[in-house]
Structure 1
């Protein structure tokens, strides 16, 4: 390849890297402002100023404020490593007890790494229709995983009287950010302890374990 061709290739790589850095800087600025001020009080202009870019740049990268918020929600999900969760759920040795522990570990990572984003966005969703729809979508995705896992179990795995949807409801009630925050921030539990307790509690509440195997 000629020197000119090499220079053009590296120029292209440089532009791609710069674009990725700009996206990350904008998202990080939005996260800081949303956490500090709340969604309603934060404007696209505020985000642009915090990120050190122009307002048109924010719009060109994320479309609008709702698009920027969606990016934050997606980033929050990625911070919990969904690929790891899927691999562990599908592992040949993954028993129902192990699968519950895997999902609890995912939620622990999610709340530990992105709880500061989830809580203010949930609160803003109470009055902002766009955020309400986004929050419902994120909760529906979480339920899809749980329903898929529970539906894959053999008949009789769930406790008598429980159907898959009710099991998903119970899971959501136990493994919530409110429970995580209460135990870690107010009760002094470590994230590891919360994760272990979730796994044990979920097994007790959801699985049809013979009496002599129960704690």
Structure 2
């Protein structure tokens, strides 16, 4: 039996898989170079050379260097496993302390797996308005999640005198990339220890 028609049937799937693999290799090369050399010092040609592809291939996949960086931001969000956080929020709907733990766990995973991307996007945003906006959008998305969760709690759950916006501000001051890097890089804490500390201090600072 001639297998050629069967091979042709899956050609489109094969091409799509190869394109995804190429895009992933480009993104990994970009992340490596951005972190090692800095965003401004890294060119599309550098990324292409590191990934073993042509510069036009990089442009075709991501548009430009800013587009590539924003793709890394999207990948960073995926790496933190938002579905796991949502499952925890749903399972612990009647337990604000555990819900705080679910949110802090997400941030720990985000910073642990993609902290380098967050830092490079923030730094690149000093000269690239698109990336500055991408960084602000990421922070705002986190705030919206916390507003939604904190607003769902019964009256009297938050510490006396504390409203939802203030609670969100306190969370942001405690659970951010700078605090995470200070504790893990400068002070030698493990990611587990940071998460446990966050869970304890959030309960003390936010809950009645």
- Is the 2:118–2:135 Cα contact (8 Å) retained in structure 1? no
Query: How do 1:92-107 residues align onto structure 2 when only pairs under 5 Å count?
Result: 95-107=95-107
Contact 2:44 2:58 in 1 (8 A): yes
Matches within 5 A, 1:1-215: 3-91=3-91, 95-208=95-208
Coordinate RMSD, CA, aligned: 1.5
5+ residue gaps, structure 1: 209-215
TM-score, normalised with respect to structure 2: 0.95
**Unpaired segments ≥5 residues, structure 2:** none
Q: Cα distance, 1:107 vs. partner?
A: 0.8
Q: Distance in 2 between matches of 1:25 and 1:175?
A: 31
Number of aligned pairs?
208
Alpha-carbon separation, structure 2, partners of 1:83 and 1:9: 34
- 8 A Cα contact 1:88 1:94, kept in partner: no
Q: TM-score, with normalisation over the residues of structure 1?
A: 0.92
C-alpha offsets along residues 112-146 of structure 1, whole Å, 9 cap, x if unaligned?
Answer: 11112211221222232121111111111111111
Further displaced range: 33-42 or 122-131? 122-131
Residues 71-127 of structure 1, C-alpha deviations (whole Å, 9 max, x = no match): 000111111101111111111555100010011111111111111221122122223
Give 1:4 shift: 3.6
Residue 65 of structure 1: CA displacement? 1.4
